[in-house]
Amino acid sequence: MKTRTIVMVGLLALMATLVLPATGAGALTTYDVEVGKFLTSAPAESMRFFPGTIDVHKGDTLHFTTESFHTATLLPVGQGVVDWYDANATPGTSQPYGLIQPDTEDTPNTYKFGNLAIFPTSSTCGGSGQPACSYDGTTVVNSGVSVLFDGPMDWSVTVDAAPGSSFWVVCLIHSANMRMKVNVVANTAPASDPAALDTANAQALAQDTASAAALNAKYSAKQTWHTKGAHRVWDAWAGVDNRHVALYGMYPRTLHIAKGDTVQWHFDSLTFEDHTVTFPSDKAVKIANVFDPACDPDGDTGPLPDGPPDTMDPPFCTDPTQLEIHFSPNFVPKLGNGTVTGQRDLESSGVRGANSSELGGDANYNLKFGAASSGTGFKYICMIHTFMRGRVVVR
Ligand SMILES: [Cu+2]
């Protein structure tokens, strides 16, 4: 049920109201872990945890930071990362840690953020000025997506799992491919040397910086097509991922085509990211920025529908567990009829890529251009990363 709309900035104060300051306690060693890292050589990000593997002692603390859009989510000891992700965190499903979940009360389904994915497991530990959270190896401990609400991630967790155990840390946004292995070694064994980790991190970053530049150059230069009848079908890519890097660009950024041609966007390289191709860019920005808080007193399976927010401002619901943050109904699904007929024609691939087999999958998106454009062309963006822009000039 749609009641009112807000823009994302309205949510910034939400988590601030739930976070209480406290003082921290000491630990043996605190290891810094950066989650993802923007690269300088291309519009790109390294999708690693830095470091990717670490040996710690029981009682050591992991301090996670990122400037980007990730979670640091510690899985229970003994859980395989792919198996856990498939069973618990598949976007587009109602699994507990799914980032984007159907609101099954609505027909057709609308989508909302998964609260267990985007909010921290505890609002009273882990954050800046708070004591570190404790991870004992039995249950998930999640940072949440603090950048949505509270600024860049600055989150600490003390490893209290038994020596001899190992576990994975994953990002709930960027698939099971974005992961870190933590080994809790015996107290008598050496843990990782922070200086050696710094050296390995620098090497990984240099490797990703070079590979991002090469990938960006390669896809920027692509001008390929095949013919179909009297017309051409042009190749394009909404972002490109390789083993450790995600490129945030539309490739090629500009295509010059003839009226009646088709552009085919490929999503099958994506192993971390999801994107959309949405025309026209101004309408797409509006869809991307609309979020819709509601309060659902009895959950999706109860007989009562979603209700309007209890308050005009965060936290919106008197009982915060009732909060549902809905996406615009135009955000997730494919829109339009597959042919661009003019500057105001809304056409969208819907969410496709690495994470979204329950959503749009990684299938190609074909869009035919049935009308000539202005000289600047038909402009489009990705609604997930609204800075990713491209245009198609049709003569
Ligand atoms: Cu991520």
Give the chain's domains with CATH numbers: 6-211 (2.60.40.420), 215-289+329-394 (2.60.40.420)
How far is residue 76 from each of residues 56, 165, 166, 175, 182, measured CA to CA in Å? 16, 10, 9, 17, 11
Write out pLDDT tens, residues 347-357: 999 999 997 66
Write out pLDDT tens, residues 229-277: 999 999 999 999 999 999 999 999 999 999 999 999 999 999 999 999 9
CA of 46 to the centre of ligand 1 (A): 10
At position 206, the amino acid (one-letter code) is A
Return the residue matching tokens 């976007």: 91
Q: Is the dihedral of CA 296, 299, 300, 303 positive or negative?
A: negative
Pairing of strands 61-66, 30-38: parallel
Write out pLDDT tens, residues 376-391: 999 999 999 999 999 9
At residue 10, does pLDDT exceed 70? Answer: no
The two tokens of residue 221 are: 């230069």
Residue 65's nearest CA partner among 130, 151, 173, 178 is 151
Residue 251's nearest CA partner among 279, 216, 282, 225 is 216
Could you give the angle at the alpha carbon of 318 between the alpha carbons of 315 and 322, nearest 5°? Answer: 85
Those residues whose C-beta lies under 8 Å from the C-beta of residue 28, and which sit 6 or more positions away, are: 57, 59, 60, 61
Distance of CA 377 to the CA centre of its chain: 29
Those residues whose C-beta lies under 8 Å from the C-beta of residue 66, and which sit 6 or more positions away, are: 34, 35, 36, 37, 147, 152, 153
CA of 189 to the centre of ligand 1 (A): 31
CA of 272 to the centre of ligand 1 (A): 8
CA of 110 to the centre of ligand 1 (A): 23
Residue 109 is predicted with a pLDDT of 74
CA of 345 to the centre of ligand 1 (A): 32
Write out pLDDT tens, residues 86-138: 999 998 899 999 999 998 877 777 899 999 999 999 999 999 999 999 999 99
Q: How many C-beta neighbours within 10 Å does residue 175 have?
A: 25
CA of 395 to the centre of ligand 1 (A): 40
Buried b (16+ CB within 10 A) or exposed e, 268-280: ebbbbbbbbbbbb
What pTM was computed for the model? 0.87
At position 108, the amino acid (one-letter code) is P
CA of 178 to the centre of ligand 1 (A): 6
CA of 186 to the centre of ligand 1 (A): 30
CA of 305 to the centre of ligand 1 (A): 33
CA of 40 to the centre of ligand 1 (A): 18
At residue 150, does pLDDT exceed 80? Answer: no
Q: How many helices (H) and strands (E) does the chain have?
A: 6, 28
CA of 152 to the centre of ligand 1 (A): 13
Those residues whose C-beta lies under 8 Å from the C-beta of residue 245, and which sit 6 or more positions away, are: 39, 44, 45, 46, 47, 208, 211, 212, 215
Residue 356 is predicted with a pLDDT of 64
At residue 7, does pLDDT exceed 80? Answer: no
Distance of CA 241 to the CA centre of its chain: 14
CA of 1 to the centre of ligand 1 (A): 30
Residue 24 is predicted with a pLDDT of 32
Q: Could you give the CA distance from residue 289 to residue 281 in angstroms, rounded to a whole number?
A: 12
CA of 70 to the centre of ligand 1 (A): 4
CA of 154 to the centre of ligand 1 (A): 15
Q: Could you give the CA distance from residue 45 to residue 105 in angstroms, rounded to a whole number?
A: 37
CA of 171 to the centre of ligand 1 (A): 5
Give the DSSP per-residue string, 96-154. Answer: TT-SEEEETTSSS-EEEE-HHHHS-S-SSSSSTTSPPEEE-SSS-EE---HHHHTSSEE
Return the residue matching tokens 């609204």: 386
CA of 109 to the centre of ligand 1 (A): 25
Pairing of strands 153-159, 141-142: unpaired
CA of 174 to the centre of ligand 1 (A): 4
The two tokens of residue 276 are: 């959309």
Residue 163's nearest CA partner among 49, 263, 276, 56 is 56
**pLDDT band of 3, cuts 50, 70, 90:** very low
What's the DSSP call for residue 3? -
CA of 246 to the centre of ligand 1 (A): 10
Q: Could you give the CA distance from residue 212 to residue 95 in angstroms, rounded to a whole number?
A: 33
